[in-house]
Amino acid sequence: MSLQLGDIVPDFTAQTTEGEIHFYDYIDGKWAVLFSHPKNFTPVCTTELGYTAYLKPQFDKRGVKVIGLSVDKLESHEPWSKDIEETQGTALNFPLIADTDKTIANLYDMIHPNASDSATVRSVFVIGPDKKLKLSMTYPASTGRNFDEIVRVIDSLQLTAKHQVATPVNWKNGEDVIIVPAVSDEQAKEKFPAGWKTLKPYLRVVAQPQ
């Protein structure tokens, strides 16, 4: 059965480019992004890992731990890491799991037999400090993921976890947000004393809380 939003994600122990990790210990009360790759030394994966390494300061700023997964052997990760740095301009700066027996891939439903019965699809899991799944996305092997979008979603998840707001279509950090319907106007006066704009009784727009 596949993981669903709100489920506690499975724990695991894995060998990585930064040594053995225990996933729950690695998260250690922080947000986390776990994402899989179909295969080492493939063009799309190379660009994705390079860009994720480039974005790592943005993940660090948000208190997010990043970890990648491949079903290839650990010894092939190092030469691939050199290719990533050479072609993408950024060295690998987060752990890359070697899941050769596909234990973790199966735990997280990363293998879709209709696409491939041996390689993982491009799965992304955003996990909260409570170890619950907050977001999952699955891309085909041929399509590179938009990691700027993953950062944007994390901004939304972290904001909405703290305040009783939702983020509208195409929202970016710093833009107006929506007061959730569960908050009455009377409650909203306390939460948002600077006021808001009512477009419809169910659609109240307010400046992003800081």
Strands 64-70 and 96-98, how do they pair?
A: parallel
The span from the CA of 122 to the CA of 109, in Å, is 11
Q: Which of 32, 33, 45, 97 is catalytic?
A: 45
Does the annotation mark 153 as catalytic? no
Q: Which two tokens stand for residue 88?
A: 């993408």
Listed in sequence order, the DSSP H helices in 14-124 are 23-27, 43-61, 74-88, 103-107
With beta carbons less than 8 A apart as the criterion, state whether 49 and 37 touch. yes
Query: Following CA atoms 144, 38, 135, 32 in sequence, which dihedral angle do they give, to the nearest 10 degrees?
Result: -100
Active site residues: 45
